[in-house]
A and B are shown apart, each in its own frame.
Chain A
Amino acid sequence: MSRIPHAKREELSTEHQKIWDHIHAARSGGGGPYSMLLHVPPLAGNVAATEDYFRLDSALSDADREIVILAAARELGAHYPWMRHEARGRQVGVRPEVIETLRAQGSRDGFTAREKLLTDIPLSLIREHGLADALFARAEGELSRRQLVEVIALVGHYSTIGFIANTYQIPAPEGSRTF
């Protein structure tokens, strides 16, 4: 049970119901952060469009994207996004060892250089809001300019998602394992 009731479609204007329908058409369940964000439909629409960009058109590969999101969700302690993206991470081939290590916040010594980089970036940004010069140099060496900008923005986007999940204590479905 979240801290406030979910937004309800029948209480929205016709125009805002279109935003609701668009958001729900692309998402199963309809819960999660959008159950709260849809109290402000135009904002929910913008956040969903950003999310859709990352999911469908990003310069990052699916696995790269999901590793960044999982590291961010775990660091923020955001259960609902973790649950969704653990499932998606498995679908797109994120190694189970990576998922379990992030879940346990364990040593990442067994990660590949790219996995290490893609988890170092969100951890550093969330903890310190920046990257040390050496980490920035690694990121610039490994990622294209567009990918680098997208990774930074993706971590920011998941701060929004994680903050909504945490502020409203949006639970993962009963019985699901998070961390």
Chain B
Amino acid sequence: MSKLPNATREGMTPAQQKIWDKVHEGKSGGGGPYSMLMHSPEMAQHFAATEDYFRNNSLLPDADRETIILIAAREVEAHYAWSRHEIRAKQCLPGEVIEALRSRAPADKFTGRTALLVEFTRSLMRDHYLSDELFSKMEKEFGHAKFIECVGLLGHYITIGTVIRMFDVRPAAGTKTF
């Protein structure tokens, strides 16, 4: 049981119900963070649009995207987000990488691009800052546009993860997270 009741379609204005339908058509189940965000439907639609962008039109390969999301979900302790994205990550990341992210292994336990993303994500989340060296590595590896997407995706998942944690939105009973 989350800390607030789920938003419900009944009781919304017709315009808000249209937003509800659009937000839910792309999401299975319709629970999760949107069950809380939809207490402000006009706001929620913008976060949903950003989410759809990252899911359908992002310049980042799936593996990079899911790596950033899992690190963010783990840092924020957003169990629901972890559970949803672990399923997706299994399609594009090796099992040992997922396990290392689950246990918050230090960056030197990862290799290559994953190690760089771990360092980048944790640095920004913990220190709100990137050293010149780390910035240069990211820029060299990703280039302007993809690097900006990494930052934007991280910010978006901090929002999603915080909503999940704060309102105690839970994954299905029995789900293994961390």
Contacts and interface: CB of A to CB of B under 8 A. Distances in A.
Q: Do A and B come from one complex?
A: yes
Contacts of B42: 53, 57
B31 to A, nearest CB: 15
Interface in A141-164: 145-146, 148-150, 152-153, 155-157, 159-164
A49 B43 contact: no
Interface stretch (B49-57, B89-97, B101-109): B49-57
Interface in B148-167: 148-149, 151-152, 154-156, 158-163, 165-166
Contact of B151 (A46, A149, A155, A163): A163
A83 to B, nearest CB: 17
Interface string A67-107: 00000000011100000000000000000000000000000
Interface residues of B, number: 41
A49 B49 contact: yes
Interface stretch (A24-32, A33-41, A110-118): A33-41
Nearest to B42: A57
B137 to A, nearest CB: 13
Interface stretch (B21-29, B110-118, B122-130, B170-178): B122-130
Contact of B59 (A40, A54, A163): A40
A125 interface: yes
A40 B151 CA distance: 12
Interface of A: 3-4, 36-37, 39-40, 42-43, 46-47, 49-50, 53-54, 57-59, 76-78, 125, 129-131, 136, 145-146, 148-150, 152-153, 155-157, 159-164, 166-167
Interface of B: 3-4, 36-37, 39-40, 42-43, 46-47, 49-50, 53, 57, 59, 75-77, 124, 128-130, 135, 139, 144-145, 148-149, 151-152, 154-156, 158-163, 165-166
17 contacts: A37-B148, A40-B152, A43-B50, A43-B148, A46-B53, A47-B152, A49-B46, A53-B43, A54-B43, A57-B42, A76-B128, A129-B158, A130-B165, A155-B159, A163-B124, A164-B152, A166-B124
